Amino acid sequence: MHRLLLAPGIQPEMRAVLDGRFEMFDMTGFDSPADVPGLDPATITAVVTKGESVFRERHIAALPNLKIIANFGVGYDGIEVQAAKARGVMVTHTPNVLTDETATTALLLALAVTRKLVVLDRLVRTGGWPTEPRELLANSIIGKTAGIIGLGRIGKAIARRLEACGAVVAYTDTKQQDVPYPFHPDPVALAKASDLLVVACQGGASTRHLVDATVLDALGPEGFLVNAARGTIVDEKALVAALKEGRIAGAGLDVFENEPHVPADLWTMDNVVLMPHRGSGTHETRRRMAELCRSNLDAFFAGQPLPTPVPEMRG
């Protein structure tokens, strides 16, 4: 039986589908594989990690017989893929199976923040209706421009949902695509044209703080930001400042720059909707992700073609 190392925080759904197939060791609470009680790092041939978990070159180097890193999630920016590739270690992920749920989460955040869902819910629960004197009219997205940063699988799924709700979609990406949406060359240009700006690109060093103070100022005091991609894509300090100063109208956030830590300033803002990184968080999707992750492991050790290697491993 192959020995497998679980990166910190792997969900029960993933553990359940691996049980009986591998001898598993859990790295939760430990900084290095060598710190895990009862584990000889040289016996580990497989690792299961998740997108936001950090699995760097030093972790790979600590496992001399590692053969495969199977990522439980589509985003794999926490893995140093080039270091793995240099060692001949395969890396896989779980695309497609979580596209729709993540897109639905982005739509949920967009509607919740523009329609003041959390504020109105609290109003009813605290007995403030119908005596609450404040004007609580919300904002519609019907006929408004929703700009999407990153028109990949998830970005396109978000676009379809926003269109169904009456929004007009525009986008920016690394290159123009054959789609019926207006293309803008960069996030600043897109933000200027948008009432709602939705982050849907991949995380990693190349997109760190892509949405900065300049982009937020271009979005303007009547614009809303939604991020269900990666927290590192948005300059969080700039976002908090823009919200506090009224330079944007509000934000719907499922992800944060230093998870699970959320800036305290966001907790009390009525124009912000917060979620604890649950973009694909349904029972059904988690099960499909776990099964695909297991399929990659099973195929690798059986010497068969891998269902979903990361793009850097293809060809």
Active site residues: 230, 259, 277
HSE-CB at 76 with a 13 A cutoff on CA atoms is: 25
With a pLDDT cut of 90, the percent of the chain lying above it is: 90
CB atoms within 10 A of CB 158: 31
Kindly report the pTM of this predicted structure. 0.91
**Average of per-residue pLDDT values in the chain:** 95
**What is the average per-residue pLDDT within 190-204?**
97
Q: Provide the CATH number for the domain formed by 99-274 in this structure.
A: 3.40.50.720
Q: Specify the DSSP class assigned to residue 207.
A: G
Q: What Å distances lie between residue 202 and 125, 231, 270, CA to CA?
A: 38, 10, 28
Residue 252 and residue 226 in contact, taking contact as beta carbons nearer than 8 Å: yes
State which amino acid sits at residue 27: M
Residue 169 pLDDT exceeds 80:
yes
Average pLDDT value for residue range 150-162: 98
Number of CB atoms found within 10 A of residue 29's CB: 8
**pLDDT digits 0-9 by tens, 214-272:** 999 999 999 999 999 999 999 999 999 999 999 999 999 999 999 999 999 999 999 99
* Residue 133 pLDDT grade (very low, low, confident, very high; cuts 50, 70, 90): low
Look up the CATH architecture of domain 3-97+283-313: 3-Layer(aba) Sandwich (3.40)
pLDDT at 315: 62
Torsion of CA 84, 86, 92, 93, to 10 degrees: 60
Residue span(s) of the chain under CATH 3.40.50.720 come to 3-97+283-313, 99-274
Contacts of 259 (CB under 8 A, 6+ apart): 52, 231, 277
Q: Return phi, psi of residue 20, to 5°.
A: 90, -20
Q: Tokens 């979580």 identify what position? A: 98
Check pLDDT > 70 for residue 160: yes
- Tens of pLDDT, residue by residue over 24-78, are 999 999 999 999 999 999 999 999 998 777 889 999 999 999 999 999 999 998 8
Residue 14 neighbours by CB under 8 Å, 6+ apart: 6, 48, 72, 289, 290, 293
Q: Any idea which residue has 């998830």 for tokens?
A: 154
User: Crossing angle, helix 117-125 and helix 99-114, to 10 degrees?
Assistant: 60
CA–CA dist 312, 85 (Å, integer): 8
Collapse the DSSP code of 179 into the 3-class scheme (helix H, G, I; strand E, B; otherwise coil) and give the result. coil
